[in-house]
Amino acid sequence: MAIKLGVVMDPIGSIHYHKDSTLALLLAARKRGWELSYMEQSDLFLENAVCYASCARLDVREDETGWFSLSETATVALNTLDVVLMRKDPPLDMEFMYTTFLLERAEADGVLVINRPAAIRNANEKLYTAWFQQCCVPTRASRDMRRLKEFLQAHGDIVVKPLNGMGGASVFRVRRGDPNLNVILETITANGSQTAMAQRYIPEIARGDKRILMIDGEPFPHALARIPAGDDARGNLAAGASGEGVDLSERDRWICDQVGPALREQGLLFVGLDVIGDYLTEINVTSPTCIRELDRLYGTDIAGRVLDAIEARLP
């Protein structure tokens, strides 16, 4: 029988056809004859400890003018599916957290949820790097602006960013003596009410912020180096960076060896590591991207590898 796969994602009509990794996964599943069901966060609900959703049957195709079609929706118990992909983009607000709890109920009923809901909650994409400090530059996380100023004074050149963002949103480079320091810290901490992260600036960002894709704890052998635009310090494609394919270095592979076993143990099957120079900066566990860019560069089938790993975990 065909594998029944559900996906929780942002509106499929608004994705970027040429870049979206969720679409790459769905296209690969469709080629294998898997049955696809589509849902958004608002479609999920819980009744008597069973997770349900208003699902639509989904068809996808490689056509940039019309890459999907949906049937009429029907209420489905998620425990009738084999696999659910949790591919909702950040921010990791409370609604996102509630969704992971609902999906955890489906997991308790035997559904394979990728990535594992509890692990998504536990592995904040910025803070989780602290579990691998041997791979990282000096880092401080605080909502206290005085502590962040002290960190800047100690290191002279830092990057500050929110803990729940994506795509380079609200990421600031700050140098000692910056006249905008106060307003930057007020913004990034919401006037001291939200924790932010500060990391020592890594000059090698000029050669790219490398995205390394991890599949069941093992790295894809090439990374996408996202080169910042000339007037920007952020290595994010969404912020205008350009992408170049690079082979993993010996240091990259060492970082993967440090992180990979923990990812596998926690059920984080598809993850994106961000590496600048010799240092791990983020561990992306929610909806990592760059499948389609790397496939175009290397003629590979990364989504197929992810599906192989999923199939290996099914009963």
Give residue limits of the domains in the chain: 4-122, 138-201, 204-284
d(CA 132, CA 167): 22
Predicted local confidence at residue 145, as pLDDT: 97
Burial 57-91 (b: 16+ CB within 10 A, else e): ebebeeeeeebbeeeeeeebebeebbbbbbbbebe
3-state secondary structure of 68: strand
Active site residues: 126, 161, 211, 226, 234, 274, 282, 284
Q: What is the pLDDT of residue 118?
A: 98
Per-residue pLDDT tens for 182-200? 999 999 999 999 999 999 9
Q: Which CATH number fits domain 138-201: 3.40.50.720, 3.30.1490.20, 3.10.180.10, 3.40.50.10130?
A: 3.30.1490.20
Q: Do 138-201 and 204-284 fold alike per CATH?
A: no
Task: Look up residue 299 and give its DSSP letter.
Answer: T
Average of per-residue pLDDT across 23-27: 98
Which pLDDT score is estimated for 170? Answer: 81
Q: Does domain 204-284 have CATH number 3.30.470.20?
A: yes
Cβ atoms of 37 and 55 within 8 Å: the answer is yes
pLDDT band at residue 230 using 50, 70 and 90 as cut-offs: low
Tens of pLDDT, residue by residue over 84-118, are: 999 999 988 999 999 999 999 999 999 999 999 99
Cα→Cα distances 146→180, 182, 197, 229, Å: 15, 10, 13, 31
Residue by residue, DSSP assigns 185-231 as: HHHHTTTTTS-EEEEE--GGGGG-EEEEEEETTEE-SEEEEEEPPTT
Model confidence, pTM = 0.94
**Domain 4-122, CATH class in plain words:** alpha beta
SS3 125: coil
